[in-house]
A and B are shown apart, each in its own frame.
Chain A
Amino acid sequence: MLAAAPTAARPAARAPEPGGAALSVRGLTVEAGGRRLVSLPALDLSPGATLAVTGPSGAGKSTLLFALAGLIPASGGRIDWGGEEITALRGAARADWRRRQLGIIFQDHQLFDEMSALDNAALGAAYAPRAERAALRDGAAHWLERLGLGDKLAQRALSLSGGERQRVSIARALAADPPILLADEPTASLDRASADRLIADLAGLAGTRTLVAVTHDAALVARLGRRLEIRDGAPAGGLADA
């Protein structure tokens, strides 16, 4: 359903292409205040795979997701994305890796309310190297149009509905055409119709990006390729097909 974002060289060429980055996790532990929050002995995903992380509230799903994003330091073990060990990256290098490789969708959109939908989706252009800015804005505009917000590019984020705001955050995550997409409860704040549309959008990304989504939404789980259930910070069983 959805196509890959454009590049600077070929902004009009938007045919779906296989993509994504392979994920390899080994012996990952995340601790805080002397308490183990996540313990994941092993996890492997091939490029372009989609994974639903499920489990009860407080099980450590979001903590795992943020660890995979390099936002929470691992207490032990290693995480490799596309062969690059992100647990070994520090500070600026890790931020640069996120900027180049990662798109993140948050449960509550996290938009700049007073900025336009396009400026929000193209947020990365503000700090990207000058040569990449035009492509980023093109990509942001492309995804907003593909997600049905083509007539609302200049509208302030504050004036958009919850579903529209979530689609802006998806466009922001995809604008730079990253190989990895992480989503934290992406449908939690949406009504059913908006959630279903979003699920269709995310499912359409299969094969073009590696997608890991933390969710309670059975409909989303059903559309993703694999499922990992987390309980008390650890996998409850192995990696299963959804």
Chain B
Amino acid sequence: MRDLWFTLPPAAQDLLAALLLLLPALVIAAALLRGFAPGAMIRDMGRRFLFANVAFVALIACAIAIGAGLLASERGLRAGTARAADPFDLIIAAPGSELTAMLAAVYLQPADMPLLSGETYARIAADPAVALAAPLAFGDSVGAAPVVGTTAGFAAHLSPELAEGRLFAAHDEAVVGALAGFAPGDEIAPAHGVGDAADAHAHAGHEFQVVGRMARTGSPWDRAVLVPVEAIWEVHGLANGHAPEAGDQLGPPFDAAYFPGTPAVLLRGEGLGATYQLLSRYGTEETMAFFPGAVLAQLQARLGDVRAAMSVMAVAAQVLVTLAVLLALAILVRLFARALALLRALGAPGRFVAAVVWSYAVGLVVLGTALGLALGLGSAAALSAVVTARTDILVRASLGWPEVHMAAGFVSLTAVLALLPAWAALRREIVPELRA
């Protein structure tokens, strides 16, 4: 059976899991409702105390929305961070923290990093397994947008199709990210440093003209301004990576003797096998090579412990909500005690009376759960928009199987618990309820 399960496609497994979670509710429904037609009575109960019913549905919807929204947002954030790291096959930096290097290179977080020398860079760039080797230069900014020095080849790798314009081809040209807030034709004056500590006048006289705008990448590079790495070195008074006789050359090959150093080199191998070779080859005393995706996975695995703890708390909260729902159900059913006593007085079977109570309760729960999933999707979308705006990592929230499973489990749990008020309704004496 276990083997059969693993041969199923993931979507089939998820669908079956959802059905299995719903199974208790479906079994109870079949057992209670078989041969009966309680629809008119349930509709009557729904309309008679409309406010109480609406409040009950809203309570459940909010509880489900919070759970589903958090699950969807968390998954969206994980997918977004992974998607942002996609274009970065391999990073080589000076030995140190892989996490720091990844945050700096992929997510453009300011960091102090040791530099790789010109000889090291030359050796990497000349490796036959390398298809693209792009040095990076950080540290400047324009407003909130980081200015990153790199090669036109890497800009083309990030955005194979530009949204508009062309790649930079001169020392004073720039290509901007999709959300950087600049358009071709704009003039940019970089400040030294980032944030509040940036010095707007340190690079006076060094302006860039925007000549192109990249398509959206879903990463913090969407807010970045990309300029030739040579220009960054030049505005800092360094050699520009090429011998003086090379004139205005831009991009590789770089001359090791005139290479000021780079905190990280972004690599693309000639294929998957070549990329693994590069990973192995440059894990040395002088260099550190890593897959950003692997580091991100490790980070997410560590955060997974926190996530598991949060999940336990979420389940505990869900149990509390379920108990509150049960209490509310008991109160709601008391509102209909007289109607239920009437049914019993007229000779309705106990199973029918239980079916009315159970269907009414579970109907409200199902309604609240469906509404909660819709609200959860909405709240996750709002939360994702906030995270995207704050981090520039494109987070897309969508309803997934985990939320469906959570909702199905909740419905089944409350369907089982709803048997309690149904059973209690049958235990009460008929005549006192009729006379109440």
Are chains A and B native binding partners rather than an unrelated pairing? yes
Contact yes or no, B431 A72, CB < 8 A = yes
Q: In the complex, how many residue pairs between chain A and chain B have their CB atoms under 8 Å apart?
A: 74
In the complex, what residues of A have CB within 8 A of residue B35's CB?
129-130
Known: A110-B434, A112-B44. A71 touches B345 (CB 8 A): yes
Contact yes or no, A91 B434, CB < 8 A = no
In the complex, what residues of B have CB within 8 A of residue A112's CB?
40-41, 44, 339
Contact yes or no, B44 A98, CB < 8 A = no
> What distance in Å separates the Cβ of B274 from its nearest Cβ neighbour in chain A?
72
Beta-carbon nearest neighbor of B338 in chain A: A110
Question: In the assembly, what is the distance between CA of A140 and CA of B83, in Å?
Answer: 66
Q: Is A123 an interface residue (CB 8 A)?
A: yes
> What distance in Å separates the Cβ of B198 from its nearest Cβ neighbour in chain A?
68
Could you tell me which residues of chain A, from 98 to 114, have a CB within 8 Å of some CB in chain B? 98-100, 102, 104, 106, 110, 112-114
> What distance in Å separates the Cβ of A124 from its nearest Cβ neighbour in chain B?
6
Q: Is B348 an interface residue (CB 8 A)?
A: yes
In the complex, what residues of B have CB within 8 A of residue A92's CB?
349-350
Q: Is B347 an interface residue (CB 8 A)?
A: yes
Could you tell me which residues of chain B, from 327 to 345, have a CB within 8 Å of some CB in chain A? 338-339, 342-345
In the complex, what residues of A have CB within 8 A of residue B352's CB?
126-127
Contact yes or no, A126 B344, CB < 8 A = no
Contact yes or no, B44 A104, CB < 8 A = no
Q: Is B430 an interface residue (CB 8 A)?
A: yes
Q: Flag B268-295 by CB within 8 Å of A: 1 or 0 each.
A: 0000000000000000000000000000
Contact yes or no, A104 B346, CB < 8 A = yes
Q: Is B43 an interface residue (CB 8 A)?
A: yes
> What distance in Å separates the Cβ of A141 from its nearest Cβ neighbour in chain B?
15
Q: Flag A43-82 by CB within 8 Å of B: 1 or 0 each.
A: 0000000000000000000000010010110000000000
Main DSSP-derived SS at the B contact region: helix
Most chain A beta carbons < 10 A, residue from B35, B40, B349, B430: B40
Contact yes or no, B347 A99, CB < 8 A = yes
Chain A: number of interface residues, binned into ranges = 20 to 34
Contact yes or no, B44 A113, CB < 8 A = yes
Contact yes or no, B347 A95, CB < 8 A = yes
Contact yes or no, B347 A96, CB < 8 A = yes
Known: A71-B430, A127-B352. A98 touches B41 (CB 8 A): no
Partner of A126, one of B40, B47, B338, B339: B40
Could you tell me which residues of chain B, from 17 to 66, have a CB within 8 Å of some CB in chain A? 35-38, 40-41, 43-44, 47-48
Known: A72-B431, A110-B338, A114-B48. A98 touches B346 (CB 8 A): yes
> What distance in Å separates the Cβ of B344 from its nearest Cβ neighbour in chain A?
7
Contact yes or no, B44 A95, CB < 8 A = no
Contact yes or no, A123 B346, CB < 8 A = yes
Partner of A100, one of B339, B343, B345, B347: B347
Contact yes or no, B345 A69, CB < 8 A = yes
Question: In the assembly, what is the distance between CA of A99 and CA of B349, in Å?
Answer: 9
In the complex, what residues of B have CB within 8 A of residue A66's CB?
431
> What distance in Å separates the Cβ of A73 from its nearest Cβ neighbour in chain B?
10
Known: A112-B339, A114-B44, A130-B35. A95 touches B348 (CB 8 A): yes
* Chain B interfacial positions (CB closer than 8 Å to A): 35-38, 40-41, 43-44, 47-48, 338-339, 342-350, 352, 430-431, 434
9 cross-chain CB contacts under 8 A? A71-B434, A91-B350, A92-B350, A96-B347, A98-B345, A102-B347, A112-B339, A126-B352, A127-B349
